[in-house]
Structure 1
Amino acid sequence: MHTLYDSETFSVTHMLANLDTDAQHPSGASKSEHGAQVLPMLLRHGFEIVDKRANKEVYLDGSWAELFQQHIQAWQANTPTQEEVEDTLERYAELAQNPLSIH
């Protein structure tokens, strides 16, 4: 888990799939008939976007995460202003339905 962005209004965390690369057989992995390691199909990453103003969060995975990853790559190529980042995050935050609860 890596915090990618944190401001007064938004926080973005990249959630990585847990993959034990040191073990011979990661959880759920098996060997194919040719001896190659076969990993589980559901290892996916995602992004958690927290709207601090509305106290809501949204988790992006699958195609939503891929789309958001494209935004991140574009930001790496052409450094955006904070306003551009916040505008993009606000559009994603509109998807947020889950109230934020602190444990």
Structure 2
Amino acid sequence: MHTLYDSDTYSVTHMLANAVATDATPDVSLDRTEPVRIVPTLARHGFEIVDKRANKEVYLDGSWAELFQQHISAWQQNTPTQEEVEDTLEQYAELAQNPVLVH
């Protein structure tokens, strides 16, 4: 999980579903302990966009995440103003249906 953007209005977090967890498990046949890779069955990444004003969030995955990744790549090529970033995030935030809950 990486926070990509955080302002008074929006927060964007990149969720990495492809992250590999390791657990130390004993291997009886080799009489040693080696890390075991646990790979998710649906290895997908996504982006969480939180609209702090509306107190709502949207999670982008699949084709939506790919489209948003294209915006990020374009921003890396041509550094946008904060206003340009927030205008783009506002368009995605219109998809937000889930209220932000703190556990």
With the shorter chain as reference, the TM-score category is 0.7 to 0.9
Aligned length: 91
**Correspondence for 1:70:** 70
Query: Which structure carries more strand by proportion?
Result: 2
Separation of aligned partners in 2, 1:75 and 1:100: 27
Deviation at 1:18, TM superposition (A): 4.2
| 1:20 partner amino acid | V
Preserved CA contact (<8 Å) 2:21 2:39: no
Q: Structure 2: 5+ residue runs without aligned partners?
A: 23-34
Greater Rg by CA: 2
Separation of aligned partners in 2, 1:50 and 1:90: 10
Runs of 4+ aligned residues of structure 1 deviating over 3 Å after TM superposition are 21-25
TM-score normalised by length of structure 1? 0.81
Separation of aligned partners in 1, 2:75 and 2:65: 15
TM-score normalised by length of structure 2? 0.81
Tell me how large the CA RMSD over aligned residues is: 1.6
Determine what percentage of the aligned residue pairs are the same residue.
78
Deviation at 1:20, TM superposition (A): 2.2
Q: Structure 1: 5+ residue runs without aligned partners?
A: 29-39
**Correspondence for 1:26:** 38
| 1:98 partner amino acid | N
